Structure 1
Amino acid sequence: MSTLLIVGSANADHVLTFENLPQAGETLLCQQYRLELGGKGANQAVATARLRNPQQTVCFIAALGDDNNADMMRKAWSEDDIDISGCYQIANQSTGTAMIFVDQQGENSIGIVPGANTCLGSEHFRQQHAKFEQANYMLIQLETTLDSVQSALQLARQYDCTTILNPAPATALSKEILNLVDIITPNETEALALTGVEVNDQLNASKAADYFHQQGVNSVVITLGSKGAYVSEQGKGEGKIIPAPIVSAIDTVAAGDTFNGAMMVALDEGKSLQEAVIFANKASSIAVTRHGAQSSIPYRDQLND
């Protein structure tokens, strides 16, 4: 058995669907509303669990509120056979909340109230050190505090666990943090925010990747939406774009999270980074054809079909 570890956020997602996304100062009637389980960390844990093989164990470390949303989440994650012994419920805190606006083309705008996610910290990681020691890969995002991100990366590095950072939502990252990252997976918007390079073609994708390499990151995967993903590995020649299957997207909320979970599963199975990205492109291409966050994430047999 191998262990895949996800550290990060969990949110209750309030999803509002519109014909077009509201502009500043504009009020629009919502076409549909639903409450869903989300949060980038939780989405990635669910994606990893649904796409893994039987020899892989999935563990999730998160901080939840002391409320009904947390109870609902823990029950759902258990049904996906995720080890939630590292999911803490924090007294006098609410579970994280997200407001998600989605248009008819599947594009979205998201606002987040972090709630208990801000409470996740080094003391929780120390209590779960055995999971870090056992894990082959750890996947983390930026919806918890930067101190917690750095602490988790340091502990993973201590145990020689390969680290994957999905830098979302984008925020300034120190070289100290980036030096702890083995694989970074920004999208085009996040790559621009972190490197100052607008990734509008392969040349600029290469420039953005070079920035991360110079900061100590060995492998860079820049997700490009419907165009696929740009992959660059230090010392392995020129990077390349791995195209994605062509689909009709209706909701992109959890596409990136599905991609990251799928990529980690494939890497743990011994696939090359480019092969892992092909697998991840397939998974995320299915996710965008469905509504919702965790409800859109496919199971492995659906990729085989």
Structure 2
Amino acid sequence: MTEREQQILAILRDEPLIPQQELAERLGISRSAVAGHIMNLMQKGRILGKGYILAQQQYVLLIGGANMDICGSTQRTLHSGDSTPGRIRCSPGGVARNIAENLARLGNDARLLAVVGDDLYGRTLLDASHKAGVDVRDCWILPDEATSTYLSLHGPDGDMAVAVNDMDILQRLGPERLADKLERLRNAAALVIDCNLPEDSLQWIFAHRGDTPVFADTVSAHKCQRLRPWLAHIHTLKPNRLEAETLSGLPLHSPADAGKVADWFHRQGVQQLVLSLGEQGTCWSHIDGSRGQLAATPISVVNATGAGDALMAGIVHGQLQGWRLADSLPFAQACAALTLASPATNHPSLSTTAVANWLAQHA
């Protein structure tokens, strides 16, 4: 779907009887243009008929962090205790929210469960997510909390040099709130969680998920340890080098070590493992014994924040399409490459067409 089609679908989910003229005025385009987009959506099977009845489709439920990313970047060497000229940008972020936005831009029904404060950042996050096609109706707005914020500094190579996160609000995303969304969880085609969630929330999710496959993002070497008791319940896990070493206790110096690390995770019960090894590429493994490696494509990195979330979105998208993990990974890696080349945390023009074009150019 195009970005405009995603915007139209997001509005129709809330207002299925909205007149085309009002829709046109809200989007700032002509009524004839709206009619053309509606026709395209009907041809794609996303709208079934009069009254804008939307086609029922499988959805992904995402639970975890939604925060404002404040990113400082410089082409000069960073020096401790000194000020460095550069650029500072704010953009919507948070692991679960980022994955939700990427999934929506890839044409999937992505539904987010997150908490934000009743402040400028919170309103901006929900509005931007909604415009990207994410269903945010089940998010909670807490008037007595500040929206989660993530501050990162990036040097000339584009990689993060240091970061600070203020995510205390996530302690309010506990089992008592999640219990109200039990049916959402059990009816989802896939569940994506991140390790920003409190330990009691993770425990509740794994105890009540039913048969919904769980895709887990480890977030950091510190927070990934919250998943240790629940590895047997995870369908797909995507750690980086340090996170995989922290959980398994095994060295992961190069792709040659990936096999032993993967075997350890599979013995714990993880069905699919995707190891992000940075410049050494991506290693993947399935519990059935199939495994492989994808080399990293040389690319000029503009902003590394969000690339891992785009990779996870591509993996989940492949699962929804019924692809094998071996077929999902090239698509997912292309999602990450496009995001690395974007100054924003999420590539604003990510789509299946953009990914297909990138894959064709780098075949």
Same fold (TM over 0.5): yes
- Contact between 1:97 and 1:115, CA under 8 Å: does it hold in 2? no
Q: 1:286 aligns with which of 338, 342, 346?
A: 338
TM-superposed deviation, 1:76: 1.0
User: Residue 249 in 1 paired to residue 301 in 2?
Assistant: yes
Distance 2:346 2:149 in 1: 15
Q: Tell me the SS of whatever aligns to 1:58.
A: strand
Bigger share in helix:
2
Aligned residues: 298
**1:3-152, aligned counterparts within 5 Å?**
3-19=59-75, 22=78, 25-52=80-107, 56-108=108-160, 109-152=162-205
Partner in structure 2 of residue 162 of structure 1: 213
Distance 1:96 1:175 in 2: 25
Taking structure 1 as the reference length, what is the TM-score of the superposition? 0.91
The superposition leaves residues 102-125 of structure 1 with CA deviations (integer Å, 9 ceiling, x where unpaired) of 112110132211032221111222
Distance 2:303 2:117 in 1: 27
- Contact between 1:40 and 1:141, CA under 8 Å: does it hold in 2? yes
Which structure 2 segments of 5+ residues have no match? 1-56, 358-363
- Contact between 2:102 and 2:313, CA under 8 Å: does it hold in 1? yes
Distance 1:256 1:38 in 2: 12
Partner in structure 2 of residue 271 of structure 1: 323
- Contact between 1:230 and 1:240, CA under 8 Å: does it hold in 2? yes
TM-superposed deviation, 1:304: 2.2
Distance 1:303 1:19 in 2: 28
- What root-mean-square deviation, in Å, do the aligned CA atoms of Structure 1 and Structure 2 show? 1.8
Distance change >3 Å, CA 294–CA 174, structure 1 → 2: closer
The superposition leaves residues 145-179 of structure 1 with CA deviations (integer Å, 9 ceiling, x where unpaired) of 122223223322x2x11111111122324643212
- Contact between 1:242 and 1:274, CA under 8 Å: does it hold in 2? no
Q: Tell me the SS of whatever aligns to 1:198.
A: coil
Distance 2:238 2:153 in 1: 24
**1:217-236, aligned counterparts within 5 Å?**
217-236=270-289
TM-superposed deviation, 1:6: 1.0
| Greater RCO, CA 8 A, separation 6+ | 1
Which structure 1 segments of 5+ residues have no match? none
- Single out whichever of 30-39 and 267-276 deviates more from structure 2: 30-39
User: Residue 153 in 1 paired to residue 153 in 2?
Assistant: no
Distance change >3 Å, CA 146–CA 22, structure 1 → 2: farther
Distance change >3 Å, CA 296–CA 20, structure 1 → 2: farther
Distance 1:48 1:166 in 2: 15
In the alignment, residue 286 of structure 2 is paired with which amino acid?
E
Q: Tell me the SS of whatever aligns to 2:71.
A: strand
Distance 1:297 1:221 in 2: 25
Bigger share in strand:
1
TM-superposed deviation, 1:219: 1.4
- Contact between 1:244 and 1:278, CA under 8 Å: does it hold in 2? no
Distance 2:341 2:99 in 1: 18
The superposition leaves residues 35-77 of structure 1 with CA deviations (integer Å, 9 ceiling, x where unpaired) of 211111111111111113xxx4111111111211111111111
